[in-house]
Structure formats: structure tokens, C-alpha cells
Amino acid sequence: MAAHVYIADIAHYEGQEVTLRGWLANRRSSGKLHFLQLRDGTGSIQCVLFKGDFDEETFKRADHLNQESALSLTGVVKKDPRSPIGFELSAKAMEVVSEAAPDYPLGHKEHGVAFLMDNRHLWLRSSRQRVILGVRHTVVKAIRDFFDERGFTLVDAPMFTPAACEGTSTLFEVPYFDLGKAYLTQSGQLYGEAAAMAVGKAYVFGPTFRAEKSKTRRHLTEFWMVEPEVAFMDLAGDMELAEQLIGHVVRTVLAKHRQELVSVLERDVTKLENATPPFPRITYDEAIDRLKTARPDTPIKWGDDIGGDEETLLANMFDRPVIVHHFPAEMKAFYFKRDATGKYALGLDVLAPEGYGEIIGGGQREEDYDTLVQRIRDAKLPVEAFDWYLDLRRYGSVPHAGFGLGVERTVAYLCGIHHVRETIPFARTMERLKP
């Protein structure tokens, strides 16, 4: 009985007899030779079956197997210059673990987006999706390692929350026993602030839900966000932490996935190689000036949000992510600290290059109790709902700051993928709840 090996490790077994287990991706034949393309999750390899090595029934069956049939193939690993991976399997025995039904929906030709998303559970088997899933895994691990190495503690925030974190946004409502209604969290930040006062450096990492009817390539109704929060840190420290995190994630992904990014996703990785700190920093005022200069006819004016097109225009002025900071106070949520003039919120956004948009949003928080109460009132939010949050300002309040990084937008940027729906295994959008 030959040892089972994975295709990714095939180079170590040249000349040896091994068993491969996987799924039939494609097959070809030239009569007395059948070529079975086997995929096992780590790679894909061509297995060659010669008629003389098999009994008639098995050999015939090999040429009629349906796509995605599960197979176990035993044979000798042979070096072959014609193979894209340098090796192929000269099969001597085949076991059909389970024959696939004949109507596997995904063929080898192109498919439309809607069809692929309907078949997302099967689409994941493609090499493209396998690479994206791998990059996402690496991104998540790199983020955890980054914070772990810097003495942060992971503090999980709840998914069920009693009220809006920021007030106005549309939240998903769920019934909650005798307590009435609960809402799915739209940010773990307020809990992250509580955690920072407990452990100094905390980060929240989990899914986030937005019921807004956004239909763009940058939006999902359910997405993952990592939100560090640090006591005694100001806006400058926040910017440094943000660029260090992104720099670390980009470096780690390049080190591990460079080859796949280039060959499978056709990503121009030179665009990622530049993404090393320090990142350029511009104020909101400067951003508006730059936009007006670059495109004099743009209708944008001071106090406006920087929209998708402007964001892309701005980001393309730099060869790496750019940090925009000091926003008009009215633009930002109630908990942002303001500068001495009161005109600006100490917020920061990090815009990824190439139109991938805002991948980080955050800033320094208001630590003064009275000011914060006033802000909550100004925002027409119920102060009682924030009593526990205000306690953080009553018992040893300190300056602190943090941010949220969107995992899907980051993966899209790294992979060079147009739409974030491909960067999460099972995307939830306005029009899609299945599979």
C-alpha cells in the first residue's frame, strides 16, 4: 500500500509509488491513454493511465467518470517537462471513492457572476478561489500575529447589542426573549474601548453587520473587521499602528503567496511591494485641495464626504496606501475627539491604492466625560443607553485611540480582485442569503 501524499509535496516523491486522493477536475483521452486531472485542495496534477496497466472495465470507466468524482489514484511520480508543475503521476491503480452526479454545473468555460454566486459552494473548488481563501487565511493569521507580538490581548465583543453603536446606521434587528429587540453589532469599538482600559492594548476581531442597502463592489452586509484599541495612544500613534499593521500584512502575504498571486490571480505585485511604512499623511483639507487641483470641475467642497470616485483619484496620487486625517468634526461620529479649535475630528482613514478604497477608519476618542455626554445629546442619541460607556470616562479616563480594518477590502486589495464578494467564503449581500 503506497503512502498518501498531497500534490503540493509531490516533488519530494519523484520515482516513488504514492497514492493521491482528490477530485476529478478534467479528463482527456487519446484512446489507449487517459489523462485525468486530479485536484486535492493543495494543487492539481495530471495522472496518466495506460490501457495496458488496467483491466478493461476500470480503464473504460476512467474515461467516463463525471467531473468532480472523488478518486484515489496510485502510481509512480514522474518528472515531466510538459507538466505545469513539473511532475505527473503514472497511475497503476484507480479507486473511485464516489462517482459524482453527471450534472456538475460548473464547466471549464466562463460563467456569469450570478450563476457562480448561486453555486458558491462549488465555485470554491476552483484554483482562483482556493488562492483567495489561502490569502484570506494568511491575512487573518498575520493580523493576529502582529497584535500578539506587540502585547495586545484579543477581547471578543458581542454580536448581539442593545442599541446602535453610532446611532443612525441601519441595523439588523432580532427578537431577544423578554428583553424585546436586540441588534447585530455594527462595530465592536465601544467594547474595545472598555477592554483597552482593562488590558491596555486590546483588539476585537469578528464579524460585523450593516443593514444598509449598499450595492457596490466594496460592500457586504456581513463582513469581518479587526479593531485595535490602545490606552494612552493619540492620533499620531494610531497612524503609526495602522501603517505598521498594513505593512506587516502585505509583507507576510507576499512572502507566502507571491507565486500564486502572479500566476493564478495575475496580480501585479509590484504595486504591493511599495506598501511599506511610512505612508504619506495628508489632512482632509489638503485632500480636498488636491482633488480640486487635479479635477477643477469636481463638485466636491469642504465638508463633503470623499466619494468613491474622488477616493480613487486621491489614492492614485500615491504609490502606497495614504492616510487622510483631521476631518471636519461634523462628518464623524460622536465619540471622536476634536482638535483644540473644535473644527476638526481627530480621525484617520487609510485609502488603499488602485481604487480599493477605505480599508481603515478610526481615530482618537473623546475621553472627557462632560464633552462626551454633550456629543451624545447633540447626536440625538439616548444617553441612558451609553451609561456603561460613559463609566469609562468616570473611572480613570485616559486618552486613547484605535481603528477598524476591513478584512475583505484588504484581501481584495492584496489579490487585485474587483469585488469583495469573492474575498469571503460565503458572501452576504442585499440580494443574496444563499448558499
324-343 binders of RNA (CB under 7 A)? 331
The sign of the torsion formed by the CA atoms of 119, 125, 128, 134 equals: positive
Between the alpha carbon of residue 325 and those of residues 44, 226, 245, 410, 420, the distances in Å are: 47, 20, 17, 20, 25
Helix (H, G, I), strand (E, B) or coil at 206: strand
Distance of closest approach, residue 232 Cβ to RNA, in angstroms: 23
Distance of closest approach, residue 10 Cβ to RNA, in angstroms: 14
Residue 125 makes contact with RNA by CB under 7 A: no
Which of 243, 311, 366, 367 lies at the binding interface for RNA (CB under 7 A)? 311
Between 107 and 296, CB nearer to RNA: 107
CA atoms within 13 A on the CB side of 194: 13
Residue 379 makes contact with RNA by CB under 7 A: no
Residues 6+ apart with CB under 8 A from 2: 16, 17, 18, 19, 74
Between 198 and 430, CB nearer to RNA: 430
Which of 309, 319, 339, 368 lies at the binding interface for RNA (CB under 7 A)? 309
Residue 420 makes contact with RNA by CB under 7 A: yes
| Residue carrying the nine cell digits 484554483 | 127
Pick the stretch among 5-13, 103-111, 136-144, 266-274 that binds RNA (CB under 7 A). Answer: 103-111
Residue 105 makes contact with RNA by CB under 7 A: yes
Which of 95, 156, 268, 305 lies at the binding interface for RNA (CB under 7 A)? 305
Q: How far is CA 133 from the centre of its chain?
A: 9
Residue 408 makes contact with RNA by CB under 7 A: yes
- Binders of RNA among 228-287, rule CB under 7 A? none
Sheet with strand 181-184: strands edge to edge = 160-161, 181-184, 173-175
Between 217 and 271, CB nearer to RNA: 217
Which of 110, 178, 370, 384 lies at the binding interface for RNA (CB under 7 A)? 110
Burial of residue 396 (number of CB atoms within 10 Å: 0-12, 13-18, 19+): exposed
Between 256 and 285, CB nearer to RNA: 285
Which of 18, 54, 67, 152 lies at the binding interface for RNA (CB under 7 A)? 67
Closest C-alpha to 72, from 148, 172, 2: 2
φ, ψ of residue 348 to 5 degrees: the values are -140, 140
Distance of closest approach, residue 214 Cβ to RNA, in angstroms: 3
Size of residue set near RNA by CB under 7 A: 74
Which of 219, 325, 365, 400 lies at the binding interface for RNA (CB under 7 A)? 219
Which of 8, 12, 50, 176 lies at the binding interface for RNA (CB under 7 A)? 50
Contact letters (x/-) for RNA, 176-205, by CB under 7 A? Answer: -----------x------------------
Between 32 and 121, CB nearer to RNA: 32
Which of 31, 175, 180, 299 lies at the binding interface for RNA (CB under 7 A)? 31
Residues 6+ apart with CB under 8 A from 269: 254, 258, 261, 262
Residue 406 makes contact with RNA by CB under 7 A: yes
Separation CA 340–CA 335 (nearest Å): 16
Helix (H, G, I), strand (E, B) or coil at 202: strand
| Residue carrying the nine cell digits 486590546 | 202
Residue 206 makes contact with RNA by CB under 7 A: no
C-alpha cell read off for 326: 483631521
